[in-house]
Amino acid sequence: MRATVMSNPFETLGLRPGFALDLPALERRQRELSRALHPDRFAGSSAAERRQALSRAMDVNQACRTLRDPLSRADAVLATIGAAPVGGEGERVTDPTLLMAMLEQREELDEVRRRGDRAALGSLKEKMKARERALIEELERAFEPLVEPNAAAPAGLDGVRRPLIELRYVRRYLDEVAVLEDEVG
């Protein structure tokens, strides 16, 4: 039976580990590997070789899904440097500024929900999307020194912790906005 835990997605795709990725290059790499592993290329091969190619193609697709998403990409980078994930379900947010901002955002969203105001919802969504983009840029800068050769990973995680925790919050918020968009119609 095939293991459900995937190996390092950067190794799977032959990419240098890092948070800042050229997403079009990632897509090109996936297409390139998918063509090389296409079942038609293994039609005359043994059953074991066909299964191995299929397994490898599935790993390539999973690696791409992992690296496309900034949160799972961050976890993959942390894993490559031997650090635990940051800001997961069990981790408590203790930054009072972030907690206050989260509370204010929730109150705004609840007010928009009560009013059923689609325009205000769109405005909140755009504001949060802009925050998401800013956090991703901040994470790109924060992760860069961690993936350099001979980097001291655990000491440098402080610069990653806050924006990653906030990005997790922003993503949950945007998920709620999407559900509310369906409700508001």
Indicate the range of 36-40, 126-130, 151-155 predicted with least confidence: 151-155
Same topology for domains 9-68 and 96-184, yes or no?
no
State the Cα–Cα distance between residues 22 and 75, nearest whole angstrom.
18
Cβ contact 34:42 at 8 Å = no
- Pick left, alpha or beta for residue 174 (phi over 0 → left; psi -120 to 50 → alpha; otherwise beta): alpha
State the Cα–Cα distance between residues 18 and 73, nearest whole angstrom.
8
Sequence-distant (6+) residues with CB within 8 A of 21 are 15, 67, 73
State the Cα–Cα distance between residues 107 and 127, nearest whole angstrom.
15
* Of 148 and 80, the one with more pLDDT: 80
Q: What is the mean pLDDT of the chain?
A: 86
pLDDT at 2 over 60: no
Name the band, by pLDDT with cuts 50, 70 and 90, for residue 4: very low
Domain spans, the chain: 9-68, 96-184
CATH assignment of 96-184, given 3.30.1480, 1.10.12, 1.10.10, 1.20.1280? 1.20.1280
CATH architecture of residue range(s) 9-68: Orthogonal Bundle (1.10)
Whole-number pLDDT of residue 112: 92
Q: Is 46 helix (H, G, I), strand (E, B) or coil?
A: coil
Look up residue 56 and give its two tokens: 């490898």
pLDDT tens column, 77-112: 999 888 878 766 666 677 889 889 989 999 999 999
Whole-number pLDDT of residue 185: 66
